Structure formats: structure tokens, C-alpha cells
Structure 1
Amino acid sequence: MTLLAYYLAASIATFAFYAHDKSAARKAHWRTPEITLHMLGLLGGWPGALAAQRLLRHKSSKGSFLVVFWMTVALHCVAAGWLLWLSLRSAA
């Protein structure tokens, strides 16, 4: 699986989790734990999470959630950059 396909699959899955949680919130049903949403973003689904926040207007105004969300995005980007650097360094 290419890296782009991985990010696409992770983003679609994360978007689906956000959509399900939004629906559950409206119906007062069991909610997806915030840690699950954050872990999905950290594992590469953050573009889907960001899309869900914008398009579904879900978890887009809760300040404490957004602080952790952006921290996971930054952590993911640092880790991905480090792995890329390692792979380029070993290829040289």
C-alpha cells in the first residue's frame, strides 16, 4: 500500500468515525471516546478529521479538544518527517 493510499484510507475511516459520533450526539446515543478520535488522527487520519470538523461542524468549537487535536497533528507531522529523514539518510 502506498503512503498516499494509507493516508486516504485513514482519513476516510476517521471521517466516518466523526460522522458516526456526530449522529450519536444528535440522538443521545453512545459516543465515540475523544481519545479514539485523537488516536485515529495521530495514526494518519488527521486530514479526514479536519475535513469532518469543517464539513460536519463536529468537534470544531470545543477548545480543549482542538488543542489536543492540533498537538496530535503536529506530533504526527514530526514523526512522519523523522521517518522520511531516516529513510532518505539510509538510502544515501
Structure 2
Amino acid sequence: MNNILILLGYLLLMNILGYVTMWSDKKKAKRGEYRISEKALFTVAILGGSIGSIAGMKKFRHKTKHWYFKYGMPAILLLQLIVAFYLGTVLNG
């Protein structure tokens, strides 16, 4: 039970980070400031922030015209769900 709470807390933080990172990069883009790299945006998603990143993309209309974000972020989420399902079934019998 304690491990599940730690995992959920981690995922919550990563998704908040994904959302805020998209917001921050959009804000910087509007101001013409130095941007957050696409590699960093994808890294946050891969490390568990895919839902927050997707939500940020949609809310702030950011990176939605780039095919690798439009399809890449949902693909990351799908792979994470498949891995979670697999691990859940393997670890629980």
C-alpha cells in the first residue's frame, strides 16, 4: 500500500510538471524568450508526465501542429498504460 502511494505521488508530481512545462514553454514562445527543448518536454512525458503534458498541449494549444507531439505524446501514454497493465497482472498473480 505504501509503495502505491509513493508511485501515485510521483505520477501526480510528474503530471503537474508536464502541464506546467507546456504552459511555461508556450509563455516563453509568445515572449520570444529562450525555449524549453523538445527533448526536455518529451523526457517529462516519458518519466510519467504524459497525461499532464497532453493536457497542457490541449489547454494552451502548444505543439499541437507538430506531428511528433500530436501523435508521440498519446503513443507514450498508451505504452505507459500497457506497461502498467502488464506489471499489474504479473505482480498480482
TM-score where L is the length of structure 2: 0.80
Corresponding residue number in structure 1 for 2:61: 57
Alignment RMSD, CA only? 1.7
5+ residue gaps, structure 2, are none
Identity of aligned residues (%): 26
SS at match of 1:48: helix
Corresponding residue number in structure 2 for 1:72: 76
Note if contact 1:10-1:40 (Cα within 8 Å) is conserved in structure 2. Answer: yes
Note if contact 2:14-2:44 (Cα within 8 Å) is conserved in structure 1. Answer: yes
5+ residue gaps, structure 1, are none
For 2:64 and 2:11, the matched residues in 1 are separated by 21
Corresponding residue number in structure 2 for 1:24: 28
For 2:15 and 2:24, the matched residues in 1 are separated by 14
Note if contact 1:43-1:76 (Cα within 8 Å) is conserved in structure 2. Answer: no
For 1:82 and 1:33, the matched residues in 2 are separated by 31
Note if contact 1:42-1:75 (Cα within 8 Å) is conserved in structure 2. Answer: no
Runs of 4+ displaced beyond 4 Å = none
Equivalent residue pairs, number: 89
Letter in 1 for 2:73: F
Corresponding residue number in structure 2 for 1:88: 92
Letter in 1 for 2:81: C
